[in-house]
C-alpha cells in the first residue's frame, strides 16, 4: 500500500437475540459477520475529496430505462452521503471536546459487498470503516473512547434520516460477539450502553438466509416506537420480554445450551411479529423465516428484515434440508463466518 494510505474494513452485522430492543433501553447480542464487508480507503491529498463509487453512486446511464431500473433496485442513495456525514460528525465532536486536528487533507473512497436492504447494516459498515480511517489519519484513536465511537456512527446516520439503534454500530466497532445492555440509567449517566465481548467459539454453526430483492429495512421501527412512547402496555411489556431474551441467551451461550438458544431465537421472531404485524414485516420476510422452521430449524431476523439467521440444532442433515427448502423458495443460504474482535487494535 502507498505511503500514508489508510484502509479499514467493517463487517456486516447479525442481531442474534434481543433486537429491536436496543432502541427501547433493552439488551441485545450481536456479532460481526465476515461473509460481507465494506472497505474505506483514505489517501493523503492536496484537496479534500469524497470519491463517488462507480456502481453505488452512478450518475451516468445508458438510457432512461437504465436509470429507472437502477433506482428501483438500488434506491437513490449511495455511500457518498455517509462519508460526508461521518466527516461532519467527527469534526464537530473533536471541536466540542477540544481535540485538535491537523490541517492536512485527504481523499476518501469506499467499496462494499454487503447485500442492500438485507438488514445486515450495510450503511453503518461504511460509516464505521470511515471513522476508523479518520481516527488513524488524525491520530486521535486514544482520545475518542471505543464506547463512544458507535454513537458517532449513529449520529452520522441520523443526520441522513436513517432510523436505527446503537446495536449495529457497537457490533461493527467492537467486532466479534458482543452482549449489550442499553438501560436508561446507563444511557443517561454514561451516554452509551454497557458492552461485553464474548468468545465467538461459544456459538454453534449458524446459517444466513437472504433474498436477492429484499425489503427496505429503514421503515420498520416507526409505528411501534410511537406506541411505545405513547405508553402502550402491550408494546412496553412485549419489548421488555424481547430484551430478556438476550439476557437468557447470554447464559445459554456461556453454557452451550443450544436447545435453549434455538427456543430463544424463535421466540424473538414471534414477539417481533406480534408487535409489528405481518403487513410491516412483509410476506417475503415471513416466507424466509418459515422456510427454516419448516425443516425444524430456529430462525429470526438479522435486523429489520431482508435476511434471517438460522440455527439447525440437528446438524448437517438438517442443513441439507434447509438448503433444499430455500432453493425451492428462491433464497440464498450461506454458512455464517463470525469476524474476530477488533478490540486488540484500540
With beta carbons less than 8 A apart as the criterion, state whether 78 and 136 touch.
Answer: no
CA torsion sign for 183, 193, 249, 268 is positive
Task: Using CB atoms within 10 Å of the CB of residue 65, give its burial: 0 to 12 exposed, 13 to 18 middle, 19+ buried.
Answer: exposed
Residues 212, 191: Cα–Cα separation, whole Å: 37
Mention every residue, 6+ apart, whose C-beta is less than 8 A from residue 277: none
Q: How far, rounded to the nearest angstrom, does the alpha carbon of residue 331 sit from its chain's CA centroid?
A: 20
How many Cβ atoms sit within 10 Å of the Cβ of residue 92? 12
Q: How far is CA 239 from CA 163, 228, 245, 307, 328, in A?
A: 18, 9, 10, 21, 34
Closest by CA to 18, choosing from 312, 340, 300, 212, is 300
Residues 13, 22: Cα–Cα separation, whole Å: 14
Instruction: Based on the residue annotation, tell me whether 136 is a catalytic residue of this protein.
Output: no
Residues 171, 97: Cα–Cα separation, whole Å: 25
Residues 30, 98: Cα–Cα separation, whole Å: 33
With beta carbons less than 8 A apart as the criterion, state whether 314 and 296 touch.
Answer: yes
CA torsion sign for 312, 19, 181, 234 is negative
Residues 67, 102: Cα–Cα separation, whole Å: 41
Residue whose grid cell is 420476510: 285
Residues 114, 13: Cα–Cα separation, whole Å: 10
Selecting among 46, 142, 168, 279, the annotated active-site residue is: 168
The distance in angstroms from the start CA to the end CA of the chain is 22
Enter the C-alpha cell of residue 258.
443450544
Q: Where in the sequence numbering do the catalytic residues fall?
A: 168
Amino acid at each position: 500500500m502507498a505511503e500514508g494510505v489508510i484502509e479499514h474494513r467493517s463487517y456486516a452485522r447479525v442481531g442474534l437475540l434481543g433486537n429491536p430492543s436496543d432502541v427501547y433501553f433493552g439488551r441485545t447480542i450481536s456479532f460481526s459477520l465476515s461473509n460481507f464487508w465494506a472497505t474505506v480507503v483514505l489517501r493523503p491529498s492536496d484537496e479534500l475529496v469524497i470519491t463517488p463509487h462507480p456502481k453505488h453512486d452512478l450518475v451516468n446511464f445508458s438510457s432512461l430505462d437504465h436509470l429507472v431500473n437502477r433506482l428501483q433496485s438500488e434506491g437513490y442513495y449511495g455511500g457518498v452521503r455517509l462519508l460526508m456525514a461521518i466527516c461532519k460528525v467527527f469534526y464537530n465532536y473533536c471541536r466540542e471536546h477540544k481535540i485538535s486536528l491537523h490541517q492536512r487533507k485527504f481523499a476518501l473512497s469506499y467499496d462494499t459487498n454487503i447485500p442492500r436492504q438485507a438488514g445486515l447494516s450495510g450503511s453503518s459498515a461504511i460509516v464505521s470503516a470511515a471513522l476508523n480511517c479518520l481516527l488513524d489519519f488524525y491520530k486521535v484513536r486514544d482520545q475518542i473512547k471505543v464506547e463512544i465511537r458507535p454513537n458517532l456512527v449513529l449520529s452520522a446516520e441520523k443526520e441522513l434520516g436513517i432510523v436505527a439503534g446503537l446495536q449495529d454500530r457497537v457490533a461493527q466497532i467492537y467486532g466479534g460477539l458482543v452482549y449489550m445492555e442499553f438501560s436508561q440509567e446507563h444511557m443517561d449517566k454514561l451516554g452509551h450502553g454497557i458492552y461485553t465481548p464474548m468468545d465467538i467459539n461459544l456459538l454453534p454453526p449458524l446459517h444466513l438466509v437472504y433474498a436477492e430483492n429484499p425489503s427496505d429495512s429503514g421503515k420498520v421501527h416507526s409505528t411501534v416506537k410511537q406506541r411505545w412512547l405513547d405508553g402502550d402496555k402491550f408494546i412496553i411489556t412485549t419489548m421488555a420480554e424481547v430484551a430478556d431474551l438476550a439476557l437468557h441467551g447470554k447464559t445459554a451461550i456461556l453454557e452451550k445450551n443450544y436447545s435453549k438458544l434455538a427456543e430463544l431465537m424463535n421466540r424473538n421472531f414471534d414477539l417481533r411479529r406480534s408487535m409489528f404485524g405481518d403487513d410491516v414485516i412483509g410476506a417475503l420476510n415471513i416466507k424466509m423465516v418459515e422456510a427454516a422452521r419448516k425443516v425444524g430449524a430456529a430462525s429470526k431476523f438479522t435486523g429489520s428484515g431482508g435476511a434471517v439467521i438460522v440455527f439447525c440444532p440437528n446438524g448437517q442433515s438438517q442443513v441439507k434440508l434447509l438448503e433444499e427448502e430455500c432453493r425451492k423458495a428462491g433464497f440464498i443460504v450461506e454458512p455464517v463466518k463470525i469476524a474476530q474482535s477488533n478490540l486488540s487494535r484500540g
